[in-house]
Each structure stands twice: as C-alpha cells, then as structure tokens.
Amino acid sequence: MDRTLVLMLNALAVDTPRLGMVAAAVAQYGILLYAGLMLTLWWRAPDLRRRTLVLAVAAAVIALAANAILSHVAPRPRPYLVLPVRVLQTPAPRDASFPSDHAAVTAALAMSLLLGGFGAIGSAGLVGALLIGTSRVMAGLHYPTDIMGGMLVGVSSAFVLTRAQEPLGPILDAAIAAARRVGLA
C-alpha cells in the first residue's frame, strides 16, 4: 500500500504540473513557515506563554534526535531510489527515508502549541504538518509510513515534554531570562 500511494501521488503531481510545482515548493520550504510562526509567537507572547514555545522547540530537537536513532536502527531507502518516481525537489536528500524529519519537527511544534494553549494555531499546525508530509510523498521523497512515523515521533516528544513542564520550569525560566538579557525577549 505504501508503494502504491507513492506511485499514485507522484504520478498525480507529475501529470498536473501546477500541482507538482506547489507540492515541490511545500515539500522543500513549507517547514520555514513554522520557523516564522515560532518567531512571531515569541515576539508577541508573554513570558508564561514563552515557556510553551521553548518546550515546543525542545520537543522538535528531541524528535530530531529520536529520528536520527531510528533511521540508523531501521534504515529505509528513499522511494526515488527504489521506485520509478520523478523527484520534484532538488537536491534530493540522501539520508534515510524513515522517519521523516519534516513530519517530526512540524508535528512536535504543532502538538506542543496545541497542548500549551495555542489551540487554533496548534490545530492549524497539525493540518500543515499533514500537508507538508503529503507534499513530500508527492515529491517522491517519502513513503506515507515515513510521514506517519515522523509525526508519531514528533507528537510523542511534545507529549513527553509537556508532561515534564513542571520539573523543567526552572530551566525554561532560565532560558527565557537569558533571551531577555541579550535582547531577544
């Protein structure tokens, strides 16, 4: 089923050039919207809400670390290396396909925001994570299970850190205070 979905979605993107261009752009640059969102929220949020933002970034970092481990434990070649698909992104990544780093980071940030009281923004972020993931499948860069695996890692990282917010409070406050000292808060 994984292979079939990659072939179908990639063919759709290739056969519909405008859709293919959008999918390629979202696959490559969609994650930058999350960086912009986090910076915007940082500059607008009071310190109590900034704790959530620091936790969200930490969840994304943990998700990337977990992905690095998983990609070595269960390496999977990218679809374009084993299937007759056209890659819609250049340069094509050469690391393991499973789990998706884009899906892990976007899901970690979005779920952290959702759990931290940024309801509408967090929900929209999860939808965005699915769109980015789908575009990466359309671009021939991932299998659907790579996206699901990455999102599971990201969501899990967000849950773990959100539940640990109380004991992490002094560290979060110190990070915010340090940012304030150097003019970033």
Phi-psi region of 136 (alpha: psi -120 to 50; beta: other; left: phi over 0): alpha
The average pLDDT across 52-75 equals 96
Cβ atoms 138, 20 nearer than 8 A: yes
pLDDT at 97: 95
Helix then strand then coil, in percent of the chain rounded to 5, is 80, 0, 20
Domains of the chain: 2-181 (1.20.144)
- For the chain, give the percent of residues with pLDDT over 70: 98
pLDDT at 107: 98
pLDDT at 91: 82
pLDDT over 80 (residue 3): yes
pTM of the model: 0.93
